[in-house]
C-alpha cells in the first residue's frame, strides 16, 4: 500500500527529529575473551539503537582473544570487526577504534553486559551541552565489589584534588566524547584499563565540560580482567603523571610547601635552641626553593604549549 504524502511528511519529520536529538556516532567495544556475553550485548545494542532511529556504527575491536570471541564477532551482522593479532590492552583497543571511527562522536561501552546500553542514545544527546558525557555508576541498581570500593574511594579523592573538580565516577567504561578532543590526548593515554581514568583527569584539568549521568551497573558475564592491587597502583601512577603533565603546580607546590615548613621548624630551633644555622635548615630551604622554581617553570611550559 502506497504511503500518503501527509504520512511520508510526518515520517520524514520524525526521522529529522530523531537525528536532531541523537546525532550520528560510532560505538566502540574493546573485546577480549568475552565469548559468554559479547553476542548478547551487541544484539541488545542494535535492538535499542534501531528502535531509537539513531544513525550509528558499531566497531568491535577484538584485542587478541584466545577463546571463540573472534568467531562470534565475525558471525554478527552490521558491525565492523578490527583484529589485534595479540592482546595489547583495553586502552590500545579503544585507540584503534577511535582512529577508525567515521563519526565525530564516539561512544564506548564494554562487551560483558555490565552497562545499561539502552541509555546510549540519551548519553549521546547530552553531548549537545558537554564535551564528554560519563555514565556514572551511582544509579539505584549498582552491583559493585566492596573490595574495590575502598581503594576506588581514595583514588577518586586523589584525582579530584589533582583536577580540582568533583568526580562521581573516575573510570566508567560507558561514556561519549568528541573524537577531535580525545585525539589531542591520544599520545599520553595509556594502553591499559587506565585509559578512562586518564582521559577523565585530562579533560577536567584542561577545562572541558564533563557531564556525569547516573546509570546502573550489573554483574558481568564472564571473569573480570581487572587485578585490583596492580591496577589501583597503576591508576595512581597515571593520575600523578597526568597531573604533572597538565597541572604541575597542583602536584609540586604542596611538596615544596612541606619542605619549606620543615625549614621554618628547624630554622626556629637553630635560632632559639642551637643558636647556630645548621646544614639541615639550609638543605630544606634549597629543596623547597628548587621544587618551587621547577613547578613554576613546568607550569609556564605547560601554558605556552
d(CA 102, CA 117): 20
User: Would residue 141 be called left, alpha or beta, if left means φ above 0 and alpha means ψ between -120 and 50 degrees?
Assistant: beta
Does residue 16 have a pLDDT over 50?
no
Measured in whole angstroms, how far is the alpha carbon of residue 82 from the centre of its chain? 21
What average pLDDT does the segment 36-43 reach?
93
For residue 107, report the phi and psi dihedrals to the nearest 5 degrees: -115, 135
Q: Residues 214, 259: one domain?
A: no
What average pLDDT does the segment 109-121 reach?
93
Q: Residues 128, 204: one domain?
A: yes
Q: Residues 212, 80: one domain?
A: yes
Does residue 302 have a pLDDT over 80?
no
Nearest C-alpha neighbor of 117 from the set 196, 37, 179, 189:
37
pTM of the model: 0.78
What average pLDDT does the segment 135-145 reach?
80
In the prediction, which pLDDT does 1 show? Answer: 41
What average pLDDT does the segment 238-248 reach?
82
Does residue 7 have a pLDDT over 70?
no
Q: Residues 266, 176: one domain?
A: no
Q: Residues 161-171: pLDDT tens digits?
A: 889 999 999 99
Q: Which helix (H) or strand (E) holds 244?
A: helix 228-246
Q: Residues 201, 280: one domain?
A: no
Domain boundary among 246, 268, 287: 246
Does residue 229 have a pLDDT over 80?
no
User: Would residue 78 be called left, alpha or beta, if left means φ above 0 and alpha means ψ between -120 and 50 degrees?
Assistant: left
The pLDDT > 70 percentage for the chain reads 86
In the prediction, which pLDDT does 80 show? Answer: 97
Q: Residues 205-221: pLDDT tens digits?
A: 999 999 999 999 876 55
CATH number at residue 135: 3.90.550.10
Q: Residues 52, 127: one domain?
A: yes
Q: Please, what is the average pLDDT of the chain?
A: 86
d(CA 36, CA 56): 25
Does residue 9 have a pLDDT over 60?
no
Total number of domains in the chain:
2
pLDDT confidence bin for 5, thresholds 50/70/90: very low
Domain boundary among 205, 225, 246: 246
Note down the domain range covering 276: 248-304
In the prediction, which pLDDT does 226 show? Answer: 59
In the prediction, which pLDDT does 221 show? Answer: 57
Q: Residues 234, 271: one domain?
A: no
In the prediction, which pLDDT does 225 show? Answer: 56
The pLDDT > 90 percentage for the chain reads 61
Take residue 282 and report the three cell numbers written for it: 639550609
Does residue 20 have a pLDDT over 70?
no
3-state secondary structure at position 54: coil
pLDDT confidence bin for 46, thresholds 50/70/90: very high
Lowest mean pLDDT among 34-38, 128-132, 240-244, 267-271: 240-244
3-state secondary structure at position 82: strand
What average pLDDT does the segment 167-177 reach?
95
Q: Residues 123, 259: one domain?
A: no
What average pLDDT does the segment 8-25 reach?
54
Domain boundary among 222, 246, 270: 246
Of residues 206 and 143, more confidently modeled: 206
Q: Residues 240, 259: one domain?
A: no
Amino acid at each position: 500500500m502506497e504511503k500518503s504524502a501527509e504520512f511520508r511528511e510526518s515520517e520524514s519529520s520524525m526521522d529529522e527529529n530523531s537525528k536532531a536529538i541523537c546525532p550520528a556516532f560510532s560505538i566502540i567495544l574493546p573485546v577480549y575473551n568475552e565469548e559468554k556475553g559479547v553476542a548478547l550485548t551487541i544484539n541488545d545494542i542494535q535492538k535499542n539503537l534501531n528502535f531509537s532511529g539513531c544513525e550509528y556504527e558499531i566497531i568491535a575491536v577484538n584485542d587478541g582473544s584466545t577463546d571463540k570471541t573472534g568467531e562470534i564477532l565475525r558471525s554478527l551482522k552490521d558491525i565492523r570487526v578490527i583484529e589485534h593479532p595479540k592482546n595489547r590492552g583495553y586502552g590500545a583497543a579503544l585507540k584503534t577504534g577511535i582512529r577508525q571511527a567515521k563519526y565525530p562522536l564516539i561512544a564506548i561501552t564494554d562487551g560483558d553486559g555490565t552497562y545499561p546500553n539502552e541509555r546510549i542514545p540519551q548519553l549521546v544527546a547530552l553531548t549537545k551541552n558537554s564535551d564528554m558525557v560519563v555514565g556514572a555508576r551511582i544509579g539505584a541498581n549498582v552491583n559493585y565489589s566492596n573490595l574495590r570500593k575502598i581503594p576506588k574511594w581514595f583514588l577518586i579523592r586523589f584525582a579530584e584534588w589533582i583536577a580540582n573538580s568533583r568526580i562521581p565516577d573516575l573510570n566508567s567504561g560507558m561514556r561519549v566524547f568528541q573524537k577531535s578532543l580525545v585525539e589531542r590526548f591520544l599520545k599520553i593515554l595509556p594502553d591499559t584499563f587506565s585509559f578512562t581514568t586518564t582521559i577523565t583527569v585530562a579533560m577536567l584539568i584542561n577545562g572541558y565540560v564533563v557531564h556525569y549521568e547516573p546509570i546502573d551497573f550489573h554483574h558481568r558475564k564472564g571473569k573480570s580482567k581487572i587485578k585490583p592491587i596492580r591496577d589501583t597502583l597503576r591508576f595512581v601512577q597515571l593520575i600523578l603523571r597526568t597531573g604533572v603533565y597538565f597541572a604541575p603546580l597542583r602536584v609540586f607546590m604542596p611538596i615544596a610547601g612541606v619542605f619549606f615548613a620543615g625549614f621554618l621548624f628547624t630554622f626556629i630551633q637553630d635560632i632559639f635552641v642551637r643558636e647556630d644555622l645548621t646544614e639541615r635548615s639550609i638543605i630544606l630551604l634549597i629543596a623547597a626553593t628548587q621544587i618551587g622554581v621547577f613547578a613554576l617553570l613546568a607550569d609556564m611550559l605547560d601554558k605556552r604549549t
